[in-house]
Amino acid sequence: MKHWLFVCTLVVALALGVAPSRALGGPIGLGVIAGEPTGISLKFWLDRVHAVDAAIGWSLSGDSSLQLHADYLWHNFGLVRPSGVEGRFPVSYGVGARLDTGHEDQGHETDDRFGIRVPVGVAWIAASAPIDVFVEIVPVLDLIPDTDLGVGAAIGVRFWFR
């Protein structure tokens, strides 16, 4: 029960975070993410360089658990510029948090995990369509219930609403 209260609190906090982006007129992207986790991805731009990225999905790393995460991202649009390809390729890096809840390990329910994420990724933002495709690698430092270091990775695609 306690983990559902935490999950609900986190979801409300993420939802409230959308309001400032709408006030600034920032586009919001909604799509799918596959990897760690696999589920739904949401991203909204705060300005031309900063964005907030979040996802809810299933962790498939052996224990099939619900995972939520949110990250604050910085973007560099000048690092990757392939010739002959239309669109932009921002490299992103940031910091965020992850909650991994409701999982089982060898048939026994285990404690929820909370950790700090440090995502690094690159996206292709299409020039002629409201989509982007992204890939990220994410070191995660779990702090609760104990300290553990891991790495996740994911790919995804989002449709952008303006």
CB–CB of 97/117 below 8 Å? yes
pLDDT of residue 19: 43
Domain that holds residue 98: 2-161
Taking residue 23's Cβ as centre, other Cβ atoms within 10 Å add up to 8
Pick from 144, 143, 58: nearest CA to 102: 58
The ranges of the chain with pLDDT < 50 are 1, 4-5, 7-12, 14-25
Instruction: For 79-100, write each residue's pLDDT tens digit.
Output: 988 888 889 999 999 999 999 8
pLDDT of residue 103: 59
Residue 136, domain CATH: 2.40.160.20
Q: Name the β-bridge partners of 114.
A: 99, 144
pLDDT of residue 67: 92
pLDDT of residue 83: 82
Instruction: Provide the domain count of the chain.
Output: 1
Residues 6+ apart with CB under 8 A from 104: 63, 64, 65, 110
